[in-house]
Chain A
Amino acid sequence: MKIKYVVTKNVKKFESAIQRINHKLHGVERIAVVTGEVGLGKTIAAIHFGACSGATILTIWPRMTQHWLLREIVKELGVEPAWRTERLIEQVKEELLKKPRVIIFDEVDHLFRDGDIKRIDALETLRKIHDVCYCPLIFIGEEWINKKIERIPRLYDRVVETVKFEKLGESDVKDMISQLSEYRFNDDAIEKITKISNGRIRPVMRLIHAAEGVGRIHQLKSITARDIR
């Protein structure tokens, strides 16, 4: 199996959404929300985009407060964080105005907890940073994050792009196999892989790897559904 990053339909949607919000127009909002089930490659897509474009990636921890979040942002921007919240906000502003960049927040679900004012504070701070620094923000979370954002009207109003990561279809799996494998897979094999993996990336990769092993042992020219286990 080749070691290669496969650009699926989901990744294309993700990258084009970021391109659309990464503009210099004042007055046009720049928040995008990425949703989808576990194991569809949201985080890996974000890390790949971050590594290739210089975007900052931040993973939200459970029970993260506004102060903690600000400290983490400042650290990720490459500055020693100050003690006071007021100074932290100034540091974020200084750095983002000096060098604007896309900030990706992964697992934003942790910031939504009903009746917890501290988490809402953190979200409101992010909204304010977006308003003041004109930097694009991307929130990655699980399926229901969109509904949760709807409950905060001021934040929801600024969301201009919503990307939903969907399960891989047969064409996606076929595309992945053609890019990753050195063997030729028959249509029935592709269908079986799609069915067993349930459209998730990790099982697809595992099945391709296993099928290649079978192909190597039996010196097969093409792999059929029988060889998929």
Chain B
Amino acid sequence: MERLKIIGKTISSKNRLFSVGEISAETMIDPLNVQIVLDRLYREGLVQRFRLVSESASPLRGRPKKNVAYQVRNKKEFKERIAPRLKEDTAQDRVWQVIRCLRNFTRGDLIRIADVSVEIAVWFTKMLHRAGFVALSKRQGQGVHWRLIRDPGPRRPYLGHVIKKGQPANLSEICSGDLSSQHHKIHPGQFLKAAC
């Protein structure tokens, strides 16, 4: 599973054709394992396979070497396949559904309507806030209202990155289906400009 995740992450960043050797060199995984993963993805219809015909003269003896290149067929489906599979029908799922329906809410609403404990409501809203899905009406105190500002869909967003690192994660990594975050990418040049 870990192998698929590492190779999948490398592949999803590629826009052009890639070979087994290329992926192997980048991920430091031996070519045989890369070949196994790519074959599996090919069977699932997520990557395309091309046979490259080399123009150089074929060797005089032995079986001619196959030059195979791969390409991702559909980036969105591919990202969904690689994205971590979350448990279904959990308390967090209930809270997420209530948040999507209400849009503006308090933690009390979540506890009451989603039938969850205070701890789950507090933890989940905090993590969603860190990941940039919800915003607060005011910083602290009574009567704080929360607002859903980014809706990636009915599937609860993966918040593992936020929990581990404790900092806002890249949204395109959190929710595979959300492409809107691509517009907010920061160009390295922006920092240079600011520094000048």
Contact B113 A75 (CB under 8 A): no
Once bound together, how far apart are the Cα atoms of A77 and B177, in whole Å? 13
Give the residue of A51, A54, A56, A76 whose beta carbon is less than 8 angstroms from that of B114: A51
In the complex, residue of chain B having the shortest beta-carbon distance to the beta carbon of A50 = B97
- Give A9-55 interface residues, CB cut-off 8 Å to B: 44, 47-48, 50-52, 54
Q: What is the chain B residue whose CB lies nearest that of A58?
A: B101
Closest to B77 in A: A80
CB-defined contacts of B177 to chain A, threshold 8 Å: 80
**Is A57 positioned at the interface, with any CB of B under 8 Å from its CB?**
yes
**B69 contacts the other chain (CB 8 A):** no
Q: Is the CB of A3 within 8 A of B111?
A: yes
CA of A54 to CA of B111, assembled, Å: 17
User: Within 8 Å CB of A4, what residues of B?
Assistant: 112
CB of A61 within 8 Å of the partner chain: no
Number of residue pairs A-B, CB distance < 8 angstroms: 44
In the complex, A59→B97 CA distance in Å? 13
Number of residues from B at the complex interface, CB < 8 A: 19
Q: How large is the interface on A (under 10, 10 to 19, 20 to 34, 35 or more residues)?
A: 10 to 19
| Chain B residues numbered 89-119 whose CB sits less than 8 Å from any CB in chain A | 89, 94-95, 97-98, 101-102, 108, 111-115, 118
Q: Among A51, A54, A59, A80, which residue has its beta carbon within 8 angstroms of that of B113?
A: A51
B76, B113, B153, B155: the one within 8 Å of A47 (CB): B113
Indicate if the CB atoms of A51 and B112 lie closer than 8 Å.
no
Chain B contact residues: helix, strand, loop or mixed: helix
Bound CA–CA A76/B151 (angstroms): 11
Query: Which partner residue on chain B sits nearest A54 by CB separation?
Result: B89
Give the contacting residue for A56; candidates B76, B112, B118, B154; CB below 8 A: B154
Whether A3 contacts B108 in the complex (CB less than 8 A), given A47-B101, A50-B97, A51-B94, comes out as yes
A115 is an interface residue with CB less than 8 A from chain B? no
Instruction: Give Cα distance in the complex from A218 to B30, angstroms.
Output: 76
| Nearest CB of A to B34, in Å | 29
Determine if A51 and B154 form an interchain contact, defined as CB atoms under 8 angstroms apart: no
Please indicate the chain A residues that have their CB under 8 angstroms from the CB of B89 in the complex: 54
Task: Specify which chain B residues have a CB less than 8 angstroms from the CB of A144 in the assembled complex.
Answer: none
List residues of A whose CB falls within 8 A of some B CB.
Answer: 3-5, 44, 47-48, 50-52, 54, 56-57, 59, 75-78, 80
Whether A44 lies near B113 (C-beta < 8 A) is: yes
**Which residues of the partner chain B approach A52 to less than 8 Å between Cβ atoms?**
94, 114-115
Q: In the complex, which residues of chain B have a beta carbon less than 8 angstroms from the beta carbon of A76?
A: 154
* Distance of A48 Cα from B95 Cα, bound (Å): 10
Which residue from A51, A59, A75 sits with its C-beta under 8 Å from B115?
A: A51
The closest CB in chain A to the CB of B121 belongs to A3
CB distance from B153 to the nearest CB of A (A): 6
Chain B residues whose C-beta falls within 8 Å of the C-beta of A78 in the assembled complex: 153-155
Query: What are 8 contact pairs spanning A and B, CB under 8 A?
Result: A48-B113, A48-B114, A50-B101, A51-B98, A54-B89, A57-B97, A75-B153, A80-B76
